[in-house]
Amino acid sequence: MEIRTTTPTDPASPTPAREIRRLNATAAEHDGIEPFSEQFLLGLDDRGDRGHRHVTARDGAGVLIGAAAYDGSTAELVVTPDHRRNGVGTALLRALADTYGADTVWAHGNLPVAVSWCRGRGLEPVRELLVMAIDGAPLIAAADVVGRDGFQILDLADSRRRYGAEAVDAEWLRVNNEAFSWHPEQGGWDAGQLSRAQNTGWFDPRGVMLLWSGGDDADAGNRLPELAGFHWTKWHGTEEKGRKLGEVYVVGLADDYRGKGLGGPLIGSGLEHLVDSGADEVILYVEANNTAAVSAYQRLGFGVCERHVAYGFPNPETEGVSR
């Protein structure tokens, strides 16, 4: 077995993105869930701006049998089903740990085989991400938006046209960083990160709802009002079994507008957009320890349908990955 570290920008040893995507699809068909998340798949093609690092494993014939990625905070890995329980996953994680210092790995779906593998190497749960879903009558009810006096909702395209893209994006960035100052991936962004996050095949400025303070008169003379919050939606399209799927991708409120009952109208505006686009089911991701948000989504009719768990070393003095 050959273990090799790769990067997208290294001409001598580039990341084999196409092969890793095929491996990811094979594992997903076997396990019922993709081992690589969207951000890690995007990182296969970056040109250094995302900072992802990769490790691959090949058999004696040079066939790719495993791959792992590290984004500077957490790792993800995949091993082809017919090469599992042979030390491939351990070798991949050890290479990431030794080369880049990776010590936390995601188990998407928290499948029993992944739980057993993580615990067998001394890894314990350090973070849990829930996937919640809503459909049917509860979705239609939650998408019934009730306006709030003193505020108006415009999508990103209309907002940029009215106030200018640079000014609008600066407000969007400010609110994002206020809302997610605590978040390891979503917080502390700069303008470049906001721009890169929009550089996907599914991004639609009509699907980003911005809640502006001041109501319909806020833009008198086209002066930029203050942004109270945003709801960034994602359209997945028609999935397996014919469902039309949308996502509450990111929702954030500025510091000065929390606790004022604005979350409901903001979430509802995005759900309304997704329902109008044809969605019959909407999902979202939320940190399991964000109990206030989980409870709020449950009151709207969302229920937990998947769990994703990050495993790491509980003792900061623990080093390496056990064999």
Domains in the chain: boundaries: 2-102, 132-307
The per-residue pLDDT string of the chain (323 residues; one tens digit each, 9 = 90 and over) reads 888 888 887 888 888 999 999 999 999 999 999 999 998 998 898 766 678 999 999 999 999 999 999 999 999 999 999 999 999 999 999 999 999 999 999 999 999 999 999 999 999 999 999 999 999 999 999 998 877 888 999 999 999 999 999 999 999 999 999 999 988 888 899 999 999 899 888 999 999 999 999 866 555 556 789 999 999 999 999 887 788 999 999 999 999 999 998 999 999 999 999 999 999 999 999 999 999 999 999 999 999 999 999 999 876 544 444 32
109: helix, coil or strand? Answer: coil
Q: Please state which of the four CATH numbers 3.30.360.10, 1.10.530.10, 1.20.140.10, 3.40.630.30 is assigned to the domain occupying 2-102.
A: 3.40.630.30
Positive or negative torsion for Cα 220, 225, 228, 231: positive
Q: Which residues are annotated as a binding site?
A: 38, 77-79, 85-90, 185, 234, 247, 251-253, 285
The domains spanning 2-102 and 132-307 adopt the same CATH topology: yes
Class of domain 132-307: alpha beta
- What are the binding residues for acetyl-CoA? 77-79, 85-90, 251-253
Q: Angle at Cα 146 formed by Cα 141 and Cα 148, nearest 5°?
A: 155
Nearest to 308 by CA among 173, 127, 170, 174: 127
Give CA–CA dist 16/4, Å, rounded.
Answer: 11
Is the separation of the CB atoms in 73 and 80 below 8 Å? no
C-alpha to C-alpha distance for 161 and 150, rounded to whole angstroms: 21
